[in-house]
Copies of this chain bind each other. A is one copy, B any other.
Amino acid sequence: MSVVTADFVVSLDGCISGRAIGPDAPFGLGADPLAGWLHGLASWRARQGMEGGTHNRDSAIIEQWFRETGASILGRRMFDLGEPFWGDHPPFRTPVFVVTHRPRPDIVAGDTSIHFIDGLDVALDRAQGVAGPRSIDVGGGADLFQQALAAGAIDELQLHIVPYVVGDGLRLFDRLPPIGSEWTVADSEQGEGALHVRYRRR
């Protein structure tokens, strides 16, 4: 069985993006510092097919996450927001399962294949079939993450905590039932752009 991970950049106040998210502002308003450090990293740029960028511990940690991921699961809204930006070159380079009630034909683009699946459980099953020794990453958005967390489906959670207070934004943890689950800190490291903390569920 592949480990199921989730990996998010969050603000000090737990936001993963700003307010007023939509096609014109897929990352929302007021949250640019969350992504600024990430988009300058060599590992991030390489995954988008770009050269250059910063080589540091932040970049190595993000590169490890990419390398260890064998399949990704996304919510439909996140996919719809990302698709216009990814164009013909979605950056996943693994199979991606988009959870949606509105099926559409698979997309195959370079190393990435995108499959539209009705239900998180089914998506997780499908991902288990293709991830091999690598992990399955629940990539967001927040709704899908919360659904997976509440179901006990997340084994490891990596947060990259940026010392910025968004205020009014989209929270990673929100509208959750009483979960009361214990985790351990597998690793924590202060990078240049973020504090990287890897949690493992007990």
Contact = CB atoms under 8 A, between A and B. Distances in A.
B181 A185 contact: no
A56 interface: no
Question: Shortest 5 CB-CB distances between A and B: which pairs?
Answer: A167-B179, A13-B173, A163-B183, A167-B176, A14-B14
Q: Which of A18, A165, A183 has the most CB of B within 10 A?
A: A165
A180 interface: yes
Q: Which of A167, A177, A188 has the most CB of B within 10 A?
A: A167
Interface magnitude class on chain A: 35 or more
A178 interface: yes
A68 interface: no
Interface string A1-33: 000000000001110001100000000011001
A166 interface: yes
A149 interface: yes
A185 B195 contact: yes
